[in-house]
Structure 1
Amino acid sequence: MAYSAMMKKAVGQVRGALAEAGIRRQDSRFAEHGEHAPAADAPTVLVACSGGRDSMALAAVSHIVCAMLGVHCGAVIVDHRLQPGSGEVARLAAARCKGLGLDPVIVRVIDVKAIESGRSVEDAARQARYEAIVEAASDLHASAVLLAHTRDDQAETVLMDVLTRSAGIDALAGMPSAFVRGDIRFIRPFLDVTRAQTTAICRELGIEWWDDPTNGDAFETDEPLPQHYPLRSRVRHTLMPYLSGFFNGDVPAHLAQAARVASADRDFLELETDDLYRQAVRFKVDGAAAVMRVDALFEAHSAIRRRTIARVLARLDVPFSLRHVLSIEALVTDWHGQGAVSLPSGYSVNRQKHVIRVCKNGFYANCGCTGQD
C-alpha cells in the first residue's frame, strides 16, 4: 500500500521514537516484503488508546511500524466510568484496535471516585489511568507504552501551565517526549504531529473514532465553550483559535517549538538536580517519610534546591504548588524557628536542627521523624 507523505511522516516519528528507546528491527526477515510473525520473545509495545482520533491514528501507525520491526504491538484501554456509556466506548475502542491487528488488547476499568481526594477529578483520573496502564504494561513485560499526545496537546499544555502553574522552565518545556513511571517507559512519538494530521490519517485508513463530548466539538468554531467545560477543551476550542487570529500566525506551532527549546534547558536542570537529590535526600519506611540535609540544600542554587524539594514531594505522591515549595525552601534559607509547613494529603514538613523532615501526620514516632540525626 502506498502511503501519503503525511502517513510516512507519522511512521517515521513512531519508528524514530522506538529507536531512541532501543527498540529496533529484530531480524533481517523484517526488511523483506511480506508478512512475518514476531518471535515469541520479541519486545512488546503497548498503545494507550482512548478510542479518539489521536490514539486510533497512533494505534494504526504503531502496528505498521512494529510489523516492520518484528515487535509485538498491543493496546491498553482505560474505562474511567466518568461518563454514561463509557463501557461501550471502551468496548468499541478495543474492537477497533483488534480490527487493526493489535494484540493483546486489554481493557482496564478504574474507579476514580474511590481515589483519595486532594486533587481535581481530572488529576485523579490521570493518576488512576497511569496506575492502570503501568499495571497492565508490567503484567505483559512491555518494553514501552506509547501515548498519543500531539503538537496541539503540547501547545495547550504549555499555555495552560504558563498561565496557571507558575512552574518556570517546566511550564515552558511542556510534556517530555519520554519518561519513566513505575519502571515503565512512556513515549510520546506524535509531539510533532498535529490533530488535523491524526484526523487525516484516520480518514486515509478508513478508521472510525470516538469524539469525547466534553471536547465541545458540537459547538460552532466561533462559539465559546461554557465555563463548565474542562479547561483544556476551552483552551483548544476558544482561546487557541483566538490567539492564532490575534497574532495572525500558527500559535500552537510556535508554542510547541518553544517547548522543544525549553526542554533542553529542563534536561540540564534535571541532571544537576540528580546530584543534589542523591547527596541530600533519604527516605524512611518504604518512602512514607523523607529527610533532607539542610547544609547540602543551603549550598545549592535556588533553582536546583527547589527542584529537589519538588522531586521529594512528587516521590511521596503529595499534591503541591509553588507556594508549598517556597515555604519549605524558607526552612532552609530563612530559618527563624517557624512552625511546620502543612501539605495536602496529611503531610507536614518540619525543620529539626540540621535536617528537614517530611512526614505523614500522626506517624512521626514510627517514621523516624522525631529525635535528632
Structure 2
Amino acid sequence: MVYSAAMKQAIGAVRAVLAAQGVTMQDARFARHGEHKPDADAPLILVACSGGRDSLALAAVAATVCAAWGVRAGAVIVDHHMQTGSADVAALAAEQCTALGLDPVVVRDVHVSDEHGDGAEAAARDARYAALVDEARTLGAVVVLLAHTKDDQAETVLIDLIRSAGLDAIAGMPATQSIDGVCFARPLLGVARADTTRICEDLALKWWDDPTNGDGVPADEPLPQCFPLRSRVRHTLLPRLSAFAGRDMTTMLADGATLARRDVELLERLTDDVFARTVRIEDDEEGGRRAFIDARALAGQDAALRFRVVARALAICAPGSGRRHVDAVEALVSHWHGQQAVRLPRKRTANRQKHVIEVCQDVTHANRRHRA
C-alpha cells in the first residue's frame, strides 16, 4: 500500500514511541511480505478512542504498525453519557476500530460526578483516565496511546498560560507519563490535526466532531463565553495569534513546549531526590494523607526546588492548593518567624513546630465534627 505523507509521519511517530517502551518487531517472520497474525502472548497496545478524527487516525496507524511488528493492538472507547447520542458515537467508533483490525475493542460506560467542584470537563477527564487505567490493567496492556496532536499541545500551552504561570505552563503535555502505574503515551504531538483529518479521509473513516468545539461558527466570529475554554482557544485565540504574529504559532508553541518539557523533567528528577530526603508522607486516621517536611533540610535548597517540593507535598495531602498556598507554606521554610498555621483546601493546615512542618487535617474542623 502507498501511504500519504501524513500517514508515513504518523507511522514513524508511533513506531518511535513503541520502541521507547521496548516494543519492537516480535520476530523475523513479520519482516516478510504477507499477513502474519500476532502471537496470543504478544505485547498489547491500547488506543484510547473517542470517535473523533484524531483518535480514529491513531487507531488506524497503531493497527498498521502493530500488524507489521507482530504486536497486538486494541482500543478502549469511553462513553461519558454527557451528550445526547453518545452511545451511538461510541458504537460507531467501536465498529470502525474493529474493522481496522483492532482486537480487543472495549466500550466503557462511566459516570461523571463533579465531587470536588472542579468542573464537568475535569470530572470527565478523571473518569476517563480511571476507566483507561482499569482496562489497561485488566487486559495487561504495555502502553495506552492518546491521540493529542500538535494543535492540542499548542492549545494546552495557551490554556495553561491563562490559568497559571511558571515553566510548567509552557511545557504542555508530556510525550509519556505514568498514571497509577499505567504508561500513557502521546505519539502524535508532532502531527497536525490537518494530517489526522487527511488520514481519516484517505481511509474513509467517519469521525465525530464534538459540538462544543464550535466548528459550526464562522471562523471570523469569536466563540461565545459559554463554550469551553479549549474550544475558544482553538477557534478564536490561536488563529488570531498566528495572524498577529504572521507565522504558524501552533508549531511555535508546540516546539517550545518540547524544549520546556526537557527542563521540567530535569527539575522533576532533582525534586524527586530532595523530596525523598526532606518529606515523609503518612496515611491519617481520616482516610487522607499527611506530610512531615524537614524545614531545616529543605531551607538549604534552591528556591525553585523548595517550591516544587512543597507543591508536590500539598498536591498529595491538600489537593486543590494553588500558588498562594504553596508560597505561604514555602515561607514557613525560608522566612520562618513564628507565623501561624497556613489554611489549605480540603480542611487541611500546614503548621511548623521547631524544624518540622506538618500538613494535616485542620484540628479546628476535626474537633467541630467530633462535637457535632
> 1:187 offset after TM fit, Å?
0.3
> 1:320 offset after TM fit, Å?
2.4
> 1:60 offset after TM fit, Å?
0.5
Q: State the partner residue of 1:55.
A: 55
Q: State the partner residue of 1:41.
A: 41
CA distance in 1, matches of 2:263, 2:277: 22
> 1:164 offset after TM fit, Å?
2.0
Q: State the partner residue of 2:261.
A: 263
> 1:289 offset after TM fit, Å?
1.7
Given that 2:291 and 2:358 are in contact with CA atoms closer than 8 Å, whether structure 1 keeps it comes out as: yes
Q: State the partner residue of 1:340.
A: 341
**Residue pairs, 1:249-328, within 5 angstroms:** 249-285=247-283, 288-316=289-317, 318-328=319-329
Matched AA of 1:129: R
Please say if 1:125 is aligned against 2:124.
yes
Matched AA of 1:143: V
User: Which of 227, 245, 248 is the aligned partner of 1:247?
Assistant: 245
SS in 2 for 1:153: helix
CA distance in 2, matches of 1:154, 1:49: 18
Greater displacement, 299-308 / 354-363:
354-363
Matched AA of 1:171: A
Q: State the partner residue of 1:151.
A: 150
Matched AA of 1:21: Q
Matched AA of 2:294: R
Matched AA of 1:290: A
TM-score normalised by L of structure 1: 0.93
SS in 1 for 2:346: helix
Runs of 5+ consecutive residues of structure 1 not aligned to the other structure: 366-373
Q: State the partner residue of 1:106.
A: 106
Given that 2:314 and 2:321 are in contact with CA atoms closer than 8 Å, whether structure 1 keeps it comes out as: yes
Matched AA of 2:283: V
> 1:317 offset after TM fit, Å?
7.1
> 1:335 offset after TM fit, Å?
2.1
Given that 2:318 and 2:348 are in contact with CA atoms closer than 8 Å, whether structure 1 keeps it comes out as: no
Greater displacement, 341-350 / 157-166:
341-350
Q: State the partner residue of 2:184.
A: 186
Q: State the partner residue of 1:199.
A: 197
Matched AA of 2:93: A
Given that 1:144 and 1:185 are in contact with CA atoms closer than 8 Å, whether structure 2 keeps it comes out as: yes
Please say if 1:165 is aligned against 2:167.
no
CA distance in 2, matches of 1:94, 1:300: 51
Q: State the partner residue of 1:21.
A: 21
CA distance in 2, matches of 1:308, 1:235: 31
Matched AA of 2:346: S
User: Kindly tell me: are residues 317 and 87 of structure 1, through their superposed partners in 2, closer, same or farther at Cα, counting changes over 3 Å?
Assistant: farther
Please say if 1:355 is aligned against 2:353.
no
Matched AA of 2:82: L
SS in 2 for 1:23: coil
Greater displacement, 129-138 / 339-348:
339-348
CA distance in 1, matches of 2:93, 2:128: 16
Runs of 5+ consecutive residues of structure 2 not aligned to the other structure: 367-372
Given that 1:118 and 1:345 are in contact with CA atoms closer than 8 Å, whether structure 2 keeps it comes out as: no
Q: State the partner residue of 2:86.
A: 86
TM-score normalised by L of structure 2: 0.93
> 1:256 offset after TM fit, Å?
0.8
> 1:131 offset after TM fit, Å?
1.1
Matched AA of 2:111: D
Q: State the partner residue of 1:3.
A: 3
Given that 2:329 and 2:342 are in contact with CA atoms closer than 8 Å, whether structure 1 keeps it comes out as: yes
CA distance in 2, matches of 1:231, 1:275: 36
Given that 1:10 and 1:190 are in contact with CA atoms closer than 8 Å, whether structure 2 keeps it comes out as: yes
CA distance in 2, matches of 1:14, 1:260: 17
User: Which of 230, 233, 243 is the aligned partner of 2:231?
Assistant: 233
Given that 2:57 and 2:196 are in contact with CA atoms closer than 8 Å, whether structure 1 keeps it comes out as: yes
Greater displacement, 80-89 / 187-196:
80-89
User: Kindly tell me: are residues 75 and 346 of structure 1, through their superposed partners in 2, closer, same or farther at Cα, counting changes over 3 Å?
Assistant: farther
CA distance in 1, matches of 2:85, 2:99: 21
> 1:137 offset after TM fit, Å?
0.6
CA distance in 1, matches of 2:41, 2:313: 37
Matched AA of 1:211: D
CA distance in 2, matches of 1:364, 1:294: 25
